[in-house]
Structure 1
């Protein structure tokens, strides 16, 4: 396929992602699954911010959870840390624990979410920590456990339990 044809298809997909027609949008997501690039994730994250259609949101989140390219981890964790994406942080955390990608390198982001977020979002961050499969260095583990221990005194009763449990989970890694 020629470069011009690829650019034409890519342009059509990006235009189709702006559609509120679920069939058009679904077709574009299918195209991205076949030949999308990691940078397309940023477009989808921005769409999630403005999207009112729950079906379209679900398609985007499912797509993100199914991404296999390891470079997506950095993009997704950057969005979790970015205040611009605060409204979708909980959904992005769910995507992380549903994904087969390993987010272990970004443990500190999930610990910070666990400490500083509302209970529901914190619980999703806890679930990511619980599902980490990559081995974590003792130095990193100790630093994050210390952050969790320091946060316990200032946390409400609901969060104290998951903070303690996160410390225990990190002990097991």
Structure 2
């Protein structure tokens, strides 16, 4: 078997194990996975956030995801966000993004879009992701982001407009703070 087909077999076996397990059993598995898990498990675990499962399991998966230290997981998280734009559970994964130590600065446009257009809870979580990503951005990138955010205020969904306006203020202050340090 090639490496790709071995990985696919592992993913299928893991997904089958998850689909057949109770929420309680999966919660127990998470501790085992925390110690000896592999990256191929992450997409299947992320998908549990969007599945018809109990609140306790979803919370346990969120807590697990916050502790993931493999930067490649950011790509899985972003893909799941893009594939579930209208899920009522979207806020959970966006929350994981800002609580984790992973770098989401290259996906800041996605979070800006969520800030403007998602439900209010998801928008608040997206605001936090953007805020946490600013240190990884250059001054020029922050200026560009400020300009984009400023132009999006009037087009944002009605309940999100104050958040987008607050982001603009944060970005302007972030720039001033950086300039004052020179």
Q: Which TM-score band (shorter chain)?
A: 0.7 to 0.9
Q: 1:81 to 1:141 in 2, by over 3 A?
A: farther
Q: Deviations over 1:120-154 (max 9, x none)?
A: 21111012122236420234323322221122123
Once the two structures are superposed, residues 96-122 of structure 1 have per-residue CA deviations (whole angstroms, 9 ceiling, x without a partner) of 111122222221111111111122211
Q: Which moved more, 1:141-150 or 1:106-115?
A: 141-150
Contact 1:17 1:28 in 2 (8 A): no
Determine the C-alpha separation between the residues in 1 that align with 2:11 and 2:80: 23
Counterparts of residues 78-157 of structure 1 (less than 5 Å): 78-82=79-83, 84=84, 86-87=86-87, 88-132=89-133, 134-155=135-156
State the match for 1:29 in structure 2.
Answer: 30
Residues 21 and 149 of structure 1, relative CA distance in 2, 3 Å threshold: closer
Map of 1:58-97 to 2, 5 A cutoff? 58-82=59-83, 84=84, 86-87=86-87, 88-97=89-98
- Normalising by structure 1, we get a TM-score of 0.80
What are the ranges of 5 or more consecutive residues in structure 2 without an aligned counterpart?
A: 1-9, 176-182
Mapped partners of 1:34, 1:14: distance in 2: 19
How far apart, in 1, do the equivalents of 2:23 and 2:47 lie? 18
Aligned pairs (5 A) from 1:41-60: 41-60=42-61
Deviations 1:46-74 (A, max 9, x none): 22222321111111111111101111111
| Conserved? CA contact 1:68–1:101, under 8 Å | yes
Structure 1 residue runs of 4 or more that deviate by more than 4 Å after TM superposition:
9-16
> What RMSD, in angstroms, separates the aligned Cα atoms of the two structures?
2.5
Per the normalisation by structure 2, the TM-score is 0.76
| Matched-pair contact (CA < 8 Å) for 1:119–1:159 | yes
The answer to whether residue 37 in structure 2 is matched with residue 20 in structure 1 is: no
